[in-house]
Amino acid sequence: MFDAVLFDMDGLLLDSERVLMQAWTAAAAEEGITIPHEVYTAVIGRAMQESQALFTQMLGGIERHAHLRAKVVERLHARREGPVFPLKPGVVELLGALRARRVPCAVASSSGVDEIRHRLEVVGVLHHFDAVAGGNEVSRGKPDPAVYELAASRLGVSAHACIAFEDSENGARAALAAGATLVVVPDLRRPADEVMTRCLHELASLHDAREHLPRWFPDRFLLESA
């Protein structure tokens, strides 16, 4: 039924959005600044340059943004209890099941390519991906479909032939605009109902995706069973 799988990274594969939000809100609070939850989550899924521009505007200038960003980096590096951005539940099991069926997988993330590779290498799952596409490789970030189209092309398939896993509204809109079939695993903020009505499934975690693999990839499942 499908040829490949495309994954967002932050908030889907990695529990990074929550960690980053906590670091930003704490650093801002030390400076007497409040970052409302709805304001922070509105930038989730966007390319780094777009997110930085929005944060700069919200915080009142580039110098204040740079100051807070340095405090956030300091907080992140002060973590000692494992990876800065740990894997979310079900990631290893789903990637292993897809690998067993020889389903090509790619990452389509708003983060830069080097950062994607580094974060996934740290948690030991980079080898599961046949391709990576980052926000620094496209002229417009999510919700524009460019990064999804790039990821699919690197697998040698059309985005229309792919399942795309997303957690955020901006990412979900990007996957849909690329023509991929969308599966949403909400993280910090559930996408709007208008987006959710266009997705194939809403899952509580990536654990729940495994039961759908025989239907999504029936030919590959039969080949593995033969």
Residues 97, 65 within the same domain: no
Residue 118 has pLDDT above 90, yes or no: yes
pLDDT at position 226 is 38
Residues 64, 92 within the same domain: no
pLDDT at position 79 is 64
Residues 35, 70 within the same domain: yes
134 against 21, higher pLDDT: 134
Domain that holds residue 36: 16-77
Over pLDDT 70: what percentage of the chain? 92
Q: pLDDT-derived band of residue 137, with 50, 70 and 90 as boundaries?
A: very high
Residues 161, 200 within the same domain: yes
How many structural domains compose the chain?
A: 2
Residues 46, 122 within the same domain: no
What is the rounded average pLDDT of the residues 102-123?
Answer: 96
Residues 93, 205 within the same domain: yes
Residue 46 has pLDDT above 90, yes or no: no
Residue 224 has pLDDT above 60, yes or no: no
End-to-end CA distance of the chain: 18
92 against 83, higher pLDDT: 92
Q: Choose the weakest-confidence range: 1-10, 13-22, 28-37, 119-128.
A: 28-37
Cα separation, 79 vs 13, whole angstroms: 19
Cα separation, 33 vs 189, whole angstroms: 22
What is the rounded average pLDDT of the residues 62-84?
Answer: 76
Residues 140, 206 within the same domain: yes
What is the rounded average pLDDT of the residues 98-114?
Answer: 95
Residue 45 has pLDDT above 70, yes or no: no
Residues 38, 95 within the same domain: no
CB atoms within 10 A of CB 125: 20
Q: pLDDT-derived band of residue 29, with 50, 70 and 90 as boundaries?
A: confident
Residue 9 has pLDDT above 50, yes or no: yes
pLDDT at position 167 is 95
Residues 107, 197 within the same domain: yes
Residue 221 has pLDDT above 60, yes or no: no
User: To the nearest whole number, what is the mean pLDDT of the chain?
Assistant: 88
Q: Which residues are catalytic?
A: 8, 10
Residue linked to tokens 């970030």 = 141
pLDDT at position 84 is 84
pLDDT at position 25 is 80
Residues 41, 98 within the same domain: no
Residues 61, 146 within the same domain: no
Provide the CATH number for the domain around residue 214: 3.40.50.1000
Cα separation, 61 vs 95, whole angstroms: 42
pLDDT at position 37 is 75
203 against 51, higher pLDDT: 203
Residues 10, 22 within the same domain: no
